[in-house]
Amino acid sequence: MTTNQRLSRADFHHSDNASEQVQVCVRLRPAVGTGQGQEAPCVRGVDSHSLEILNWRNEMETMKYRFDAFYGEAATQQDVYMGSVQPLLHHLLKGQNASILAYGPTGAGKTHTMLGNPDHPGVIPRAVRDVLQMTRDASEDKCKYSVSMSYLEIYQEKVLDLLQPSLRDLPIREDRNHNILVPDLTQKEITNFADFERHFLPASRKRTVASTQLNQRSSRSHTVLLVLVNQIQNWLTYSHQTAKLCLIDLAGSEDNRRTGNKGLRLKESGAINSSLFVLSKVVDALNQGLPRVPYRDSKLTRLLQDSLGGSAHSLIIANIAPEKKYYFDTLTSLNFAAKSKQIVNKPFTQKALLQTGSRKPAKPGETETLSNQAETGRSLSDGKRPCPGFSDADPEAKRPCLQVQPGPSEEKPLSSLLPLENLDPTLAERLLRLEALEKEKAGSSTLPLLNTPRRERLNVLKLLDETRRELKRVKEKQTEMEAQTLKNKGALFLQAANPRKQATVLPLQQVQTPIKSQEEEESVIKKQKTRGRKKKIQEFDSENKAPSKWEVEIHPDQLAHSKIKILSLMNSGSVKDLMDLHLIGKKKAELIVSWRENYGSFQKVQDLEKIHSITAKQVDSFIKANILKFLKS
């Protein structure tokens, strides 16, 4: 057993209810329109838990649904929050995860429920305010809390960071304790609600939205706000536990015949509907107890693996519209909510304990910072262990964490842990003998890696092996370059020594025998054409293999002028204008216009590398092809 294994372990404390069902509430938004015809209502509430909807097969009948809560048209943001959301938040102080998810068709009021407005704040601002207040009230000398946040969106099956926007698609990982996490996701520490607003409001404006025929600001992506609550206990057990609150605003399913989506909007709605279909498949698989649940078929369901059938206290807020024209969307949402209510989660508390012989508090210089790296449990080379949580690219979001684990010199001998006077003399003598033999072997050890924990030793050996292979590749490349240089020098030397020796190629007509028949003449002409094609192909290949000199041959002023013209066209041209450029098809032109709408003008032509699926090599080829075009114009 290594030092790390003796001094640190992760304990899992299950909640009082070992398992619990996902809670589901339904919110009916107020009716819009005249209330006649297709705008007439088709849903009505029965009581605070039930509602009924018309049976589309027979409008004289209704179908009744019952949930944990039902909020009618007159329900306020405060009613929804106090009735269903706030009761989940106290689990965070116990180190247990919680998840609130807004589901429903487009235009049903999901974003209003989650965000609200300054006069009627939604679930997200209310929940964050209460979490900050709870951690302040619960903090004391023996137990300290810290809160941090991350914000991301899933746009066309790409996970994008909203706190530090870029086009990089972040991966989703699972650690050894089956916690779902996102490495390299930006994390900001928040100590009060003003800190939250300073980070969240600019980030929420960067979410991808667009106008459709059903909604002026339709969400084109799923957004997830992650609030991480860290508890550090510095007395008796020196423990650390982390709880995660997920606040999810899903994009609504769309019927493209009604929304009028075309082009990029159509592609976005396809990605949204596909991810929601996988979400429905996950719910069905969990209810049927299938051996494989398709979490990995979508980025959204992979991120929700903790929330559905996982370790979180989960709440689904199903938003529906009352009008008849949304009947089938409403019916689908109610059926999804009814199936989700049968999902069973198993919440538990994960607590990391640091146990030392004397349990003395660490000195100020021996504390470790809370680096929210993705892989928990990985041993550091200096004997520290990271705390669980999400990766943090922000150096400001680091907090004091566990003590540095003592080295072998601080370990107490085995004999000090047992009362030798109460042991059998033979057993005590054997214990002392084994202790002396261990010290003797430790003193005679000459290899420094023998006293290193196994994981660190394997990492060092792996790094050494990779370094050796890299050196070998560099030496082989250097040898190849030297051989090529010698070959080139030899060719130049031969050319200089025999400047007048050049091969003379005579025309084919001068070396051919006289043509006697028409068939032989046609055969000769055919051979000439074949040789000419082969010669052109060889010349083309030799030109492509030779190093390009285009940048040297073009005057710098002309080169800069051409790049300015290309950049101007990139920043102001339409899709059709961009398709006139060489190597730019319709798909790349749409990507350029989309990037320009979301992130502003390009600063230089090389910024095309920031667009997903366009590589640096493609950008170089694009510049070379279009420089000559603009020089001619």
Which of 24-33, 146-155, 606-615 shows the lowest per-residue confidence on average (mean pLDDT)? Answer: 606-615
Highest-confidence range of 336-350, 364-378, 405-419, 510-524, by mean pLDDT?
Answer: 336-350
Quote the crossing angle between the two packed helices 327-340 and 264-288, to the nearest 10°.
40
Residue 148, pLDDT score = 95
Tokens of 564: 């300015």
Residue 452, pLDDT score = 56
pTM for this model (two decimals): 0.55
Residue 25, pLDDT score = 95
Residue 7 has pLDDT above 50, yes or no: no
Residue 113 is labelled as binding a ligand = no
Select the more confidently predicted residue: 95 or 443.
95
Select the more confidently predicted residue: 632 or 307.
307
For the stretch 330-340, pLDDT in tens is 999 999 999 99
Split at pLDDT 50, 70, 90, the class of 441 is low
Going from the C-alpha of 36 to that of each of 39, 53, 213, 223, 595, the distances in angstroms are 5, 17, 20, 35, 43
Whole-angstrom distance, CA of residue 633 vs CA of residue 625:
14
Q: What is 71-98 written as a DSSP string?
A: E-TT--HHHHIIIIIHHHHGGGGGT-EE
Give exposure, 503-529, as e/b (b: 16+ Cβ within 10 Å).
eeeeeeeeeeeeeeeeeeeeeeeeeee
DSSP designation for 413: P
Q: Mean pLDDT across the stretch 430-449?
A: 60
DSSP designation for 174: E
Residue 359 has pLDDT above 80, yes or no: no
Whole-angstrom distance, CA of residue 389 vs CA of residue 352:
12
Q: CB–CB of 580/541 below 8 Å?
A: no
Residue 107 is labelled as binding a ligand = yes
Q: CB–CB of 275/298 below 8 Å?
A: yes
- Beta partners for residue 12, in sequence order: 350
Split at pLDDT 50, 70, 90, the class of 392 is very low
Residue 14, pLDDT score = 44
Residue 106 is labelled as binding a ligand = yes
Split at pLDDT 50, 70, 90, the class of 534 is low
Residue 174, pLDDT score = 87
Residue 369 is labelled as binding a ligand = no
Residue 535, pLDDT score = 56
- pLDDT above 70 covers a percentage of the chain that reads 67
Q: CB–CB of 246/312 below 8 Å?
A: yes
Among candidates 123, 51, 112, which has minimal Cα distance to 87? 123
Split at pLDDT 50, 70, 90, the class of 531 is low
Split at pLDDT 50, 70, 90, the class of 209 is confident
Residue 395, pLDDT score = 38
Split at pLDDT 50, 70, 90, the class of 300 is very high
Split at pLDDT 50, 70, 90, the class of 557 is confident
Q: What is 178-215 written as a DSSP string?
A: --EE-TT---EEESSHHHHHHHHHHHHHTS-EE--SS-
Split at pLDDT 50, 70, 90, the class of 400 is very low
Residue 451, pLDDT score = 52
Quote the crossing angle between the two packed helices 193-205 and 123-138, to the nearest 10°.
150
Residue 66, pLDDT score = 93
Phi-psi map region of 309: left, alpha, beta (phi>0 left; psi -120 to 50 alpha): left
Select the more confidently predicted residue: 178 or 519.
178
Split at pLDDT 50, 70, 90, the class of 123 is very high
Going from the C-alpha of 318 to that of each of 71, 73, 114, 379, the distances in angstroms are 10, 14, 12, 43
Single-letter residue type at 167: L
Residue 260, pLDDT score = 66
For the stretch 268-294, pLDDT in tens is 878 888 999 999 999 999 988 888 999
Angle subtended at Cα 597 by Cα 593 and Cα 598, rounded to the nearest 5 degrees: 120
Single-letter residue type at 385: R
Which of 116-125, 226-235, 347-356, 462-471 shows the lowest per-residue confidence on average (mean pLDDT)? Answer: 347-356
Whole-angstrom distance, CA of residue 298 vs CA of residue 311:
20
Residue 389 has pLDDT above 50, yes or no: no
Whole-angstrom distance, CA of residue 75 vs CA of residue 501:
97
Whole-angstrom distance, CA of residue 51 vs CA of residue 64:
6
466, HSE (Cβ side, Cα atoms, 13 Å): 6
Residue 538, pLDDT score = 55
- pLDDT above 90 covers a percentage of the chain that reads 27
Residue 109 is labelled as binding a ligand = yes
Report CA dihedral (127, 128, 131, 132) to the nearest 10 degrees. Answer: -150
For the stretch 563-602, pLDDT in tens is 888 888 888 888 888 888 888 888 888 888 888 888 888 8
3-state secondary structure of 623: helix
Select the more confidently predicted residue: 235 or 562.
562
Residue 252 has pLDDT above 90, yes or no: no
H or E element, residue 580: none
HEC-encoded secondary structure of 443-474: HHCCCHHHHCCHHHHHHHHHHHHHHHHHHHHH
Among candidates 155, 138, 157, which has minimal Cα distance to 147? 138
Residue 122 is labelled as binding a ligand = no
Residue 108 is labelled as binding a ligand = yes
Residue 375, pLDDT score = 39
Split at pLDDT 50, 70, 90, the class of 11 is very low
Split at pLDDT 50, 70, 90, the class of 137 is confident
For the stretch 49-88, pLDDT in tens is 999 998 888 878 889 999 999 999 989 999 999 999 999 9
Which pairing describes strands 344-345 and 312-320: parallel, antiparallel, or unpaired?
Answer: unpaired
Rounded (to 5) percent helix, strand, coil in the chain: 45, 20, 35
3-state secondary structure of 241: strand
Select the more confidently predicted residue: 440 or 495.
440
Residue 110 is labelled as binding a ligand = yes
